[in-house]
Amino acid sequence: MKILLFKTVRFRSEIIIFLIVLLSLLLDLRTTTSQYSIVQIIRNLLNSKLFQVILSAGSLSSPHILFHSGIGPRGMLEGYGIPVIADLPVGQNLRNHLGVTLELLMTKYDQKRCLDWSALVQYLLNRDGPMSATGLTQLSGLLYSSLADRSHNQPDLQFFFNGFYAECSQTGKVGESEVIGQKGVNISINAVALQPRSVGYMVLTSSDPKVRPVFYPQYFSHPDDMLLVKDAANYVHRILKSHTLRHKYGIKLHPGFAKQCTAAEWSEEWLECVARFATDPQNHQVGTAAMGLVLDHTLAVYNIKGLRVIDASAIPKQPTGNPQGVIMMVAERGLRVIDASAIPKQPTGNPQGVIMMVAERGVDFIKKYWASYL
């Protein structure tokens, strides 16, 4: 979709798209108005004054650009000599899904399901076999933790069951284990808390925009999160004790898993150690330019005219599940408010119908050009 939209809109004079560039700042500090109304994208020596600038660099990069544009916590910006345009808590609400990955070994399995040369040939010739699967995770489940409010009908733990991992043999021989003496294939289960309480933050380390910021996710800074992850791991333990997994497939903890944890396996001490050494953040970061803190309900940055942030950083709190759908909803919301602001004249009556017509026109435009790429 990203390539499609780029191909269809790149020749429109009212839209300027920059790909794979370093943005050092967004705002023209030379304006003398109380409301900073001149917004610029700087790419090398090119300055383009625009009606609106849409920042969509993601939860980890959008705040970095805002920092160097003078939008962020005053104390931090002044410490690096960056003129403060808007004192806002950018980067102060870093949230992510948190879990643990349990590495397992399956000692009884069907050789026909292994990823080897014969599986590759089978896929290339017939488009079937183990390599025709949908991807790494083909099964997921949702369950309640001991802290969940079941009246909301909203499970707060998610499990990803990852299949066979492709491995490199010692000598190149088909079917040979990557690890000498290992009898079996590696699999894993990810146990994830969907509503962790811990909140992190990000900070600058330099006034140079080429220097990356530092992220402090602060996992397990809230005591409830350790309990959530332990609950999730205990569910996995119950699954692993099932007759089918133990006897039919010979599944057990990988011998090399969590060697740092010396307490008895599955004890409270062992689970806490595993949670800290095998922490598995899900790369679902949200909230670093959240609505209500940095943005208003139209995704516009407070006190900055003509600048909106439309990406996962606008989401105030983790959704209970993968964030893709919510990110798409944020994008749809952004489309509607931009369309509304672009209507040249106030309609005679409630503008809702006109806004919907503008949005539908945009959808029709996308569908028309999408069909040409199928």
Query: Residues 121-163: pLDDT tens digits?
Result: 888 999 888 777 766 677 889 999 999 999 888 999 999 887 6
Query: Residues 251-266: pLDDT tens digits?
Result: 999 888 889 999 999 9
Pair 71, 159: CB distance under 8 Å: no
With respect to residue 293, please indicate whether it lies within any of the assigned structural domains: yes
Do 167 and 240 sit in the same domain of this protein? Answer: yes
Do 90 and 137 sit in the same domain of this protein? Answer: no
Tell me what pLDDT residue 40 has.
Answer: 37
Tell me what pLDDT residue 269 has.
Answer: 96
Pair 92, 229: CB distance under 8 Å: no
* Amino acid (1-letter code) at residue 207: S
How many structural domains comprise the chain?
A: 2
Which range marks the domain in which residue 87 is found?
A: 2-94+284-371
Do 145 and 242 sit in the same domain of this protein? Answer: yes
With respect to residue 343, please indicate whether it lies within any of the assigned structural domains: yes
Mean pLDDT value across residues 182-194: 84
Here the CATH number for the domain that contains residue 345 is 3.50.50.60
With respect to residue 211, please indicate whether it lies within any of the assigned structural domains: no
Which residues are part of the catalytic machinery? 284
Positive or negative CA dihedral for 344, 350, 352, 356?
Answer: negative
Do 189 and 249 sit in the same domain of this protein? Answer: yes
Do 120 and 228 sit in the same domain of this protein? Answer: yes
> Is pLDDT larger for residue 138 or for residue 201?
201
Mean pLDDT value across residues 62-85: 93
> Is pLDDT larger for residue 98 or for residue 13?
98
**Cα–Cα distance list, 122 to 113, 117, 311, 315 (Å):** 11, 9, 41, 44
User: Which structure tokens are listed for 119?
Assistant: 């599986």
With respect to residue 170, please indicate whether it lies within any of the assigned structural domains: yes
pTM of the predicted model, to two decimals? Answer: 0.75
Count Cα neighbours of 289 within 13 Å in the Cβ-side half-sphere: 32
- Residue 48 pLDDT > 50, yes or no? no
